[in-house]
Chain A
Amino acid sequence: MKLLRRLRAFFRKDTLDREMSEEMRHHLELQVKANLAAGMSPDEARFAAQREFGHVEGIKEQVREQRGLPWLEHMLQDFGYGFRLLRKSPGFTAITVLTLALGIGATAAIFTVVNSVILQPLPYRDSVRVVGLGESFKGQPSNNGAWRVTFREWKAQATLFESLGAAAGWPRTFTGLGLPIRIYGWRVTAGYFPTLGVQPVLGRNFRPEEFVAGKGNVLILNHRLWVSSFDRRPDIIGQQVRIDDQPFTVVGVMPPNLWPEPIKDPEFFAPEPESISDVGLIPRYWDVLARLQPGVTVAQADREIAEISRRTALKFPDTNKDWSGHAVPAIDFKVSTVKPFLFLLLGAVGFLLLIACVNVANLLLARASTRAKEIAVRIALGASRGRIIGQLLCESLLISVAGSVLGILLAQGGLRVLIASAPLSMPRTHEIAIDGYVLLFSCVLALITGLGFGLAPALQASRVNPQQAMRDHGRGNSAGGGALRLRSILVAFEVSLALVLLMFAGLLIHSFLRMQEVPLGFKTNTCYLAKIIMPASRYPTPLSQSTFASQVIEHLTAVPGVHSVVFATHFPGFSGNDRPFRIDSRPDLDPTNLPQASTFITTPDFFGALNVRLLQGRLLEPRDTADRAPVAVVSQGFAAKFFPGQNPLGQRVTAMSDAPGAASREIVGVVDDIHDRGPLLERPFQIYVPFAQVPYPVPNLLIRVDGPIMGLEHSLREAMDRVDPEMPLTIVTKMDLTAFVNELIAPQRYALFVFAAFAGVALLLSALGIYGVVAYSVTQRTQEIGIRMALGAQRRDILGLIFSSTGRMVGAGILVGLVASFVATRYLGSLLFEVSTHDPVAYLAVPFFLALVALLACWLPARRATKVDPLIALRQE
């Protein structure tokens, strides 16, 4: 009630003011009248009345204070005043607002990423109830999928779930409309879509009867494929497409962005019967999701799954011994890999924001000392200390609000760059957007930073002694000494923060250089990747398939400009081709957790086309045909790991691609490792098996080209026609495989790029801070320098004077920064490659670099100090 009245008074201020003046004038008039009646002269009467009434304006002010909302009025006044002041010094305003916008913008951008990727629920119905189920070996933390048998046991025994579903990658060749393409699909079990709670945007979901073996020739397109290959045509429903030459009917289209990780977002879905049993040594690659019943916690689900897995291990000791089951929230299941990186970024950007705040605080301090006199006048006129602090804080809030508005705009732009350059493995990039939470976060940030950087300068400024300040004729030393010390401490702080960020960037740069030194183990220039599908009707036997392959190789290699032609299951850079294997001489390898190797089934020219070095024994040769002894070539890493100190030649290995019960292969050669997952991972294991011994009806082709490629595609097709006119040669892409594989270090390059940007801004800001403080101290000490020079100081002495004080400030900052780095870089560990988190190179180079920049930043003002003319300096008094 009272507040309401006050609020009304606040808004009717002008009316109330007018009424009050009117009332008081009336009072005076009556008093004058009374005085006249008492016999005074008119003048006397008026004076007496005024004397008696007192100071009209003072009374009015007193009344105003009681009425309305004085603090709000003060604040509005302060804001108005601050606004005018900032407008009067556009240079200062621009620099402070920009500095802050950089800090807030970067923070808002990174927060947006964290918010969208980690904090926002996944886009499924009631997504907190969706959990991921996985198996891990001997309790090792892993993102392993599950074995199908385990999934069936879970599904049969679990009581806490509404539904369970499994999915597995299914890279296939898609021939529908137009050219065949190799695309990545998923087979999903009946429970998968109900578990996610998603419905097709077009057409229908799979029907239960379609999950019966042999009835499932239906297909749901993912939104992306529908847009990219079918122009969003609604009449796609009911059409037939061919997958690996089998007809499938399209029945639906799923909504966009179904899956968090773009790289794993499939292009299509096909139904998978749950009853099929896996043959042989299929690894655990089923991606299992489950929907909890209402009220069930993840911990309860985890206990139940662990218990069922324990029983399953007893039931199927051959495959499940030492494997345990676990349930985690789906969001952790999917984004856990980037979580540490994103939190690291958030921490780093916090440092950047701190640096920006320190810089602005520094500028405010510098300005406060030039404003000492203004403040002294206000204090002399009766402004309380609280009011002065309030006013200065209002100014800094104005700066911080402007900074955060501009910062949001910067964040918009920055996010675009962040998203565009994000590696494909980064989840949920398409969901990253500034939302209400981000805006709220920025508002809070503006408030906190405004108070944070404004408080110290405001306290400092309000401590002005008005008498002294007014007496100091423009020398401004009164607050000078204290302010300069405070500013030096701030700069030292800033330097230490910058050093930590630089150290991060330095370590990442060093690690990146190390990564690039790793030989890929192969080299190609331009090649064509192509695809052939041998219909079972015309190439029914392995022999016919391998004969056809050698004919194709012969004809295509004859085309001018072609260097070599290779048939293979896959090539370096293709993922998902790891298969388990057995080694005859190593029965100790756990059969439930066999090691896996990238198993290339390929023709002999593989090594020549890709420049893979032979280290021992021989390569695959044309004579390794089906009727000869089965052979294999392995990589050096493979040999070193499994036959340490022994001769790998002559050892025997069974690759997954061989039929169950087939004879093991003799290792006839050892070649260089191919780092085809990027140099980051451990030494990869590779096994090479002759194509002629295990033919494959849908092989990939690599056609390595030497020289000009004009019209080559046409000549290749012509050559193909001569082998089999009915067989199309589908050229999938033209690329340099080496460059393609180099792309695999994209996540590391991304981290480097972001941290380098942060470090660059931090360096720039701290250089500005150092420059500001040194320049200010030189101006302050002009007279001192003049006197020193008059007394015979040399240029060298003056430089020494300036540099030694700067050196102390920067040195202290670097020292603190080194200690902080020592602690902070630990969190960088997982991003570094063959570089210790306490890498001596970075720990030497970074402080040196920072000191160099500091030296440059103070060189300009120091030079000005040496140009001081003693006469002029002394006359300034």
Chain B
Amino acid sequence: MAKPNPKAELLQGTLDLLILKALQRGPIHGFGISLEIRQMSQDMLRVEQGSLYPALYRLEEQGWIAAEWGVSDNNRKARFYSLTPAGRRQLTIETANWEQVAAAINLVLKVT
């Protein structure tokens, strides 16, 4: 099966934003996060596991997300991540940042 290549490279520093966004709707585990990002981006963005887990641990250490052991759909013990209040604030800030940057880049690109 031909694997659909990610159409867009993840921009440096955007992974954190995506993870926070993916967690906005409720606690999910690591695999769920990568799935969520894929679905939300309509298969355009794929998160490398090699970056996902270090990023998760980093965010946890910063206090933006919290991890808890729970039981997954298939009845296995799994680690569920959820947004903390600080994480929620951070999501707002980073979203705003991103929109500004994106708008600015768009402006630049539109110059002919």
Enumerate chain A interface residues (CB-CB to B < 8 A). 2, 5-6, 19-20, 22-24, 26-27, 29-31, 33-34, 38-40, 52-55, 58-59, 62-63, 66-67
CB distance from B73 to the nearest CB of A (A): 9
The reply to whether A27 and B61 contact each other, CB–CB distance below 8 Å, is no
Contact partner of B74 among A2, A33, A39, A62, CB < 8 A?
A33
> Which 9 A/B pairs are nearest by Cβ-Cβ distance?
A30-B31, A54-B50, A53-B49, A27-B31, A62-B54, A23-B79, A63-B57, A27-B30, A26-B78
Measured between beta carbons, the chain A residues less than 8 angstroms from B29 are 23, 26-27
Whether the pair A24, B1 counts as a contact (CB closer than 8 A) is no
Q: Is B76 an interface residue (CB 8 A)?
A: yes
Query: A52: which B residues are within 8 A, CB to CB?
Result: 49
Q: Given A26-B31, A59-B54, are A2 and B78 also a contact pair (CB < 8 Å)?
A: no
Do A67 and B57 touch (CB < 8 A)? yes
* Alpha-carbon separation in the docked complex, A93 to B3 (Å): 59
Tell me which residues across on chain A come within 8 A of B77, comparing CB atoms. 22, 26
A63 and B1 within 8 A (CB) = no
Q: CB-CB < 8 A to A2: which residues of B?
A: 61
A27 touches B49 (CB 8 A): yes
Partner of A59, one of B1, B35, B50: B50
Bound-state CA distance A22–B69 (Å) is 11
Asked if B98 lies at the interface with its beta carbon under 8 angstroms from chain A, I say: no
Count residues of chain B with CB under 8 A from any CB of chain A.
20
Residues facing A in B31-59 (CB within 8 A) are 31, 35, 48-50, 53-54, 57-58
Pair A54/B54 contact, Cβ less than 8 Å? no
Q: What CA separation (Å) do A24 and B76 show in the bound complex?
A: 13
Cβ contact within 8 Å between A59 and B30: no
Q: Kindly supply a per-residue 1/0 record for chain B positions 4-32, scoring 1 wherever the CB is within 8 Å of any chain A CB and 0 otherwise.
A: 00000000000000000000000001110
A479 to B77, CA, bound (A): 55
Are B54 and A66 touching (Cβ within 8 A)? yes
On whether the beta carbons of A59 and B57 are closer than 8 Å, the reply is no
A475, B35: Cα distance in complex, Å: 57
Partner pick for A40 among B1, B54, B76, B79, CB 8 A cutoff = B1
A53 contacts which chain B residues (CB < 8 A)?
A: 49-50
Cβ-defined contact, A63 with B54, below 8 A: yes
Q: B100 near A: Cβ within 8 Å?
A: no
Q: How far is the CA of A22 from the CA of B77 in the complex (A)?
A: 9
Closest A residue to B56 by CB, please name it: A63
Can you list 23 A-B pairs with a CB-CB distance of less than 8 A?
A19-B69, A22-B77, A23-B29, A23-B30, A23-B78, A24-B30, A26-B30, A26-B72, A27-B29, A29-B74, A30-B31, A39-B1, A52-B49, A53-B49, A54-B48, A54-B50, A55-B50, A58-B50, A59-B50, A59-B53, A62-B50, A62-B54, A66-B58
CB distance from B44 to the nearest CB of A (A): 16
Residues of A within 8 A of B35 (CB): 34
Shortest Cβ gap from B37 to chain A (Å): 14
Q: Which residue of A lies closest to B30 (CB)?
A: A27
Across the interface, which residues of B come within 8 angstroms of A34, CB to CB? 35
In the complex, A54→B69 CA distance in Å? 24
Asked if A54 contacts B49 (CB within 8 A), the reply is: yes
Q: Nearest chain B CB to A11's CB is how many angstroms away?
A: 16
Q: Which residues of A lie under 8 Å from residue B74 when comparing CB positions?
A: 29-30, 33
Q: Closest approach, in angstroms, between the C-beta of B49 and any C-beta of chain A?
A: 4
Contact between B57 and A66, CB atoms less than 8 A apart? yes
Interface residues of B in 50-101 (CB under 8 A from A): 50, 53-54, 57-58, 61, 69, 72, 74, 76-79
Chain A residues near B49 (CB-CB < 8 A): 24, 27, 52-54, 59
State whether B1 touches A38 (Cβ < 8 A): yes
With both chains docked as a complex, state the minimum distance between the C-beta of B100 and any C-beta of chain A, in angstroms.
Answer: 28
Closest Cβ neighbor of A65 among chain B residues: B54
State how many angstroms separate the Cβ of B20 from the closest Cβ of chain A: 18
Q: What's the nearest-Cβ distance from chain A to residue B76, in Å?
A: 6
Among B31, B48, B72, the most chain A Cβ lie within 10 Å of the Cβ of B31
In angstroms, how far is the closest chain B Cβ from the Cβ of A551? 104
Complexed CA–CA distance, A27 and B28 (Å): 12
| Closest-CB distance, A674 to chain B (whole angstroms) | 86
- Minimum C-beta distance from B22 to chain A (A): 15
- Is A19's CB under 8 angstroms from B79's CB? yes
Report the bound CA distance from A58 to B50 in whole Å. 8
Nearest neighbor of A33 in chain B, beta-carbon distance: B74
CA A39 – CA B2 in complex, angstroms? 13
Distance (Å) between the CB of B62 and the closest chain A CB?
9
CB distance from B82 to the nearest CB of A (A): 15
Complex CA distance for A132 and B69, rounded to whole angstroms: 76
- Shortest Cβ gap from B66 to chain A (Å): 12
User: Are A26 and B76 also in contact (CB < 8 A) when A5-B61, A54-B49 are?
Assistant: yes
CB B10 to nearest CB in A, in angstroms, measures 15
For B53, what are the chain A residues with a Cβ–Cβ distance below 8 Å?
20, 23-24, 59, 62-63
Instruction: For residue A301, give the distance in angstroms from its CB to the closest CB of chain B.
Output: 62
Residue of A nearest to B54 (CB): A62
* Separation of A347 and B106 alpha carbons in the complex (Å): 73
How many Å from the CB of A15 to the closest CB on chain B? 12
Q: Which residue of B lies closest to A24 (CB)?
A: B53
Give me 8 other A-B pairs in contact (C-beta within 8 A), A26-B78, A38-B1, A63-B53 excluded: A22-B77, A23-B53, A24-B53, A26-B30, A30-B31, A39-B1, A53-B50, A59-B49
For A29, list chain B residues within 8 Å (CB).
74, 76
Question: Smallest distance from the beta carbon of A38 to chain B beta carbons, Å?
Answer: 7
Cα–Cα distance between A33 and B72 once the two chains are bound (Å): 14
Task: Determine the distance from Cα of A70 to Cα of B49 in the docked complex, in whole angstroms.
Answer: 22
A63–B52 Cα distance when bound, in Å, is 10
Closest chain B CB from A34 CB (angstroms): 8
Complex-state Cα separation, A59 to B58, whole angstroms: 13
A53 to B72 alpha-carbon distance, docked (Å): 20
A38 contact set on B, CB distance < 8 A: 1
Residue of A nearest to B33 (CB): A27
Please, which residues of chain B bring their CB within 8 A of the CB of A31?
Answer: 31
Q: How far is the CB of B50 from chain A (nearest CB, A)?
A: 4
* Cα-based distance from A687 to B72 in the complex (angstroms): 111
**Assembled-state Cα–Cα distance A31/B34 (Å):** 10
A62–B51 Cα distance when bound, in Å, is 9
